[in-house]
A and B are shown apart, each in its own frame.
Chain A
Amino acid sequence: MLKDNDAISENQLMQVLILTIMGVGVVSLPREVAEIWGASGWMLVILGGLLALVQALIITALAKRFPDRTFPEYSVDIAGKFIGTAVALLIAVYFMLVTVFQARIIGDVIKLFLLFDTPIEVIIVTIMAVVLYLVRNGIEPITRVAVIILPLLVFGAFLLLIPAFSGADFSNLLPLVPDNIPAVFRGITTISFSFLGYESLLLLIPFTAKPKHLNKTVSKAMVIVMLIYLVICIIVFIEFGVAETKSLIWPLFSLMKAVEIPGAFVERLEGIFLSLWVFAVFSTMMMTYFCAYFILGKVIGLKQPRILAVPLFPVIYILAMIPRNVVVVYEYLGYFTKTFGTLVAGIIPVIFLILAVIRKKRDAHG
């Protein structure tokens, strides 16, 4: 039932997954881990990553039972017409709100760091217009763009981060004992939210052509993201120390302001870094935007869900303009990930997987 050109390879799946996970969260991640665990917070990235990996594998296991159908199509089979539709609708709203947050935060950051006098409305609309142009043709253009963006992003970011090692103090990573042991459990779940984006597997896996090593591919993507996060946290910690990291809203941008390339004429790299980061957020937005309109379309029962892409645009834009200020945005975001994030990425896949196993629902050649 899928069109021929709407198929991606496993390798492409991995790259899209990495890009979907890395979005607006990465710039504030070091602060979050420092707030929870102090100087040993960087280790939290590993633990949070492992929890996220387990959750991603649960989603993979669920999706593998229905290799040719997307979530809104089989959720009805598993949980019945009413609950299945309601849950699919919830997930569609979730993806739409994720897009809203990405759009708003990228608008706020660009306005603060780069374009001081440009109205935030213009920034958001221009970025979203590009996203819309890309996503309305389905999964394949998205993956093609992802394959172009990923190497650019990874190499560019690491080239910029290397100079940060000069003059940094590695003893800032000590002590290895967290100052607040009871916070461990709460911390792990909070940081696993930084890996959100893997729930797009619900939609990505059915598009993957002839998957053989899905578990391995998904694990690989998650571990790569974990390593990137780890390196970023360590670099921020050795540059700023814990107390300073805690006070910075976007430690990664502050790091870029502090870095200078020794002996080079180029100074203040945050402009270059910001443009790379725009790519990262852009690639997250394209995936979540796609998931939102696709699931919504399937729930409504449209043959061509893409006709919903354009109507969603004003909805996302208006929702993005609602929060009064950047503090409120981050408060909403925290609340949103805690409730919706846990539900969509953690609880729903587990319940649906259990239900599917109990009711023995699975497609023939699974």
Chain B
Amino acid sequence: MVKRMVLFFLVLAAILTTGCWDKIEIERRAFIQVIALDKIPEEERTDQNSRYVASFVFPNTAMLGAQGGEYGSGGGGEASVTISITGRTLSQCAYLMSTRLGRVVYFNQARIMLFGKELMKDRQLVRETVDKLARDFRLNRRMYVGVVDGMARDVLKVKPKVDQLIVGYLTGLFEDELDPARVRTMEAGEYLAAMREGGDLIMPKLTPYTDEVKVAGGAIIKDHRLIGWLGEQESVMSLLLEDEFDSGIFEVLYKDALVTYDVFDAKRKIKYEGEQNGWLKFTISVDVEGNLAEFVLGEELFDSKVIAHIEGLINKKIEKGTRDVLYKYQCHYKMDGIGLNEFLFKYHPRVWQRVKNNWEQVFCEALITVESDAKIKRIGMIK
């Protein structure tokens, strides 16, 4: 009897404890690192219904195994593999990718997601991608997003000069600690939130070349659609107004030579000043702190009057630059790129309730003054 019971429990244990529905061996997974999405170009459209080209980059784990873990040494294929798939929906692209590779596609490690220009111009496709990105639990909210001037997949063809893997190169470009002078960064989480809150936002712009990728400028998205670009300088000025500016350099002309001002901290404050003739009045003060980095031999800067003068020149430069980009937002694109709507909603909810229904017009007519206060803190090791 006891023997039978023991046997019974052994069989029971064997049935209940073996096997696992969710077991996947690690080498059966394809760890996607970069996702690039494009609208399918007309000439490549073979199937009437396909709309997307999705390109995925993942490390060649099979090669790693063959080389005994030595990363990329010896022959036997590239260190990372790029695959492009066309499909009707993003889910179909991912599914096809999985079946063609014969591997389980694993998106959790994706670091970068890029969108092509044509895709971003199509409001419907943008809204679909946003939904997919938010709905699919496999996609992580910490990956960097950006808009490519051209086809997004072209970025993946770039052979970086130093880095072996495109993902390392791109992540390095975006990463905060690398002094992103004019680099705008955006994480998927911020992107989703901005898209959810009305779809007006400025995204990082990427331009691919043969051996490098330039991350500079901004893509202007209005009502979930790409409507224009910000130049490099405009993007920097816009970053100041958005309170997203971390560090960077400005040059001003003083005594026929360029003075370089190296900014390490910038703060923005918005003040609502009431109404004037039915137009809302705002004052935006930009406080910038930095060091003087470069001037010319034979000139001295060790004089508070000179410093004050240079500060004035920097202020003028910032005020002019921000005015230009504001003009572009207010008159050209009619799009609130600096977050005044968010400011009103949070700090002046009553005003916001009144103007929210025709915010576009109210924003375009608003009187916005920018006051810059640049402080030169240090001037280096010589006078």
Q: Is the CB of B349 within 8 A of A118?
A: no
Q: Is the CB of A268 within 8 A of B140?
A: yes
Q: Is the CB of B108 within 8 A of A115?
A: no
- Stretch among B90-98, B162-170, B188-196, B273-281 lining the A interface: B188-196
> Does A80 touch B at the CB level, under 8 Å?
no
Q: Which residues of A contact B346 (CB under 8 A)?
A: 39, 171-172, 174-175
Interface size class of A (residues with CB under 8 A): 20 to 34
Chain B count of residues within 8 A CB distance of the other chain? 20
Which residue in chain A gives the minimum CB-CB distance to B20? A118
Report if A258-B347 is in contact (Cβ < 8 Å); known contacts: A117-B22, A268-B140: no
Q: Is the CB of B134 within 8 A of A247?
A: yes
Per-position binary interface string of chain B over residues 110-154, scored 1 when its CB falls under 8 Å from any chain A CB and 0 otherwise:
000000000000000000000000100100111000000000000
Q: Which residues of A contact B347 (CB under 8 A)?
A: 174-175
Q: Is the CB of B108 within 8 A of A179?
A: no
Q: Which residues of A contact B108 (CB under 8 A)?
A: 268
CB under 8 Å from chain B, chain A span 51-84: none
A122 CA / B134 CA spacing, docked (Å)? 28
Q: Which residues of A contact B192 (CB under 8 A)?
A: 244
CB under 8 Å from chain A, chain B span 57-92: none
> Does A140 touch B at the CB level, under 8 Å?
no
Q: Is the CB of A240 within 8 A of B22?
A: no
Q: Which residues of A contact B141 (CB under 8 A)?
A: 254, 257-258
> Does A243 touch B at the CB level, under 8 Å?
yes
A263 CA / B125 CA spacing, docked (Å)? 36
> Which of B21, B142, B196, B349 sits near A115, CB closer than 8 Å?
B21
> Does A113 touch B at the CB level, under 8 Å?
yes
Q: Is the CB of B137 within 8 A of A113?
A: yes
Q: Which residues of A contact B353 (CB under 8 A)?
A: 179
A258 CA / B193 CA spacing, docked (Å)? 13
Q: Which residues of A contact B196 (CB under 8 A)?
A: 243-244, 247
Q: Is the CB of A258 within 8 A of B21?
A: no
Q: Is the CB of B193 within 8 A of A243?
A: yes
Q: Which residues of B contact A248 (CB under 8 A)?
A: 134
> Does A116 touch B at the CB level, under 8 Å?
yes
Report if A258-B349 is in contact (Cβ < 8 Å); known contacts: A118-B22, A240-B193: no
> Does B345 touch A at the CB level, under 8 Å?
yes
Which residue in chain B gives the minimum CB-CB distance to A239? B189
CB under 8 Å from chain A, chain B span 317-372: 345-347, 349-350, 353
With both chains docked as a complex, state the minimum distance between the C-beta of B200 and any C-beta of chain A, in angstroms: 12
With both chains docked as a complex, state the minimum distance between the C-beta of A339 and any C-beta of chain B, in angstroms: 31
Report if A118-B21 is in contact (Cβ < 8 Å); known contacts: A247-B196, A258-B189, A268-B108: yes
> Which of A175, A239, A244 sits near B345, CB closer than 8 Å?
A175
CB under 8 Å from chain B, chain A span 97-111: none
Q: Which residues of A contact B142 (CB under 8 A)?
A: 258, 260
Report if A112-B137 is in contact (Cβ < 8 Å); known contacts: A240-B193, A247-B196: yes
Q: Which residues of A contact B193 (CB under 8 A)?
A: 240-241, 243-244
> Does A177 touch B at the CB level, under 8 Å?
yes
> Which of A113, A175, A239 sits near B349, CB closer than 8 Å?
A175
A264 CA / B383 CA spacing, docked (Å)? 43
A117 CA / B21 CA spacing, docked (Å)? 5
> Does B197 touch A at the CB level, under 8 Å?
yes
Given contacts A241-B193, A244-B192, A257-B141, 7 further A-B contacts (CB under 8 A): A115-B22, A118-B20, A118-B22, A119-B21, A174-B346, A257-B140, A258-B189
- A–B Cβ pairs within 8 angstroms, 22 of them: A39-B346, A113-B137, A117-B22, A118-B20, A118-B21, A118-B22, A175-B347, A177-B350, A179-B353, A240-B193, A241-B193, A243-B193, A243-B196, A243-B197, A244-B197, A247-B134, A248-B134, A257-B140, A258-B140, A258-B142, A260-B142, A268-B140
**Pairs A-B, 9 closest by C-beta atoms:** A174-B346, A175-B349, A117-B21, A118-B21, A258-B141, A244-B193, A243-B196, A243-B197, A115-B22
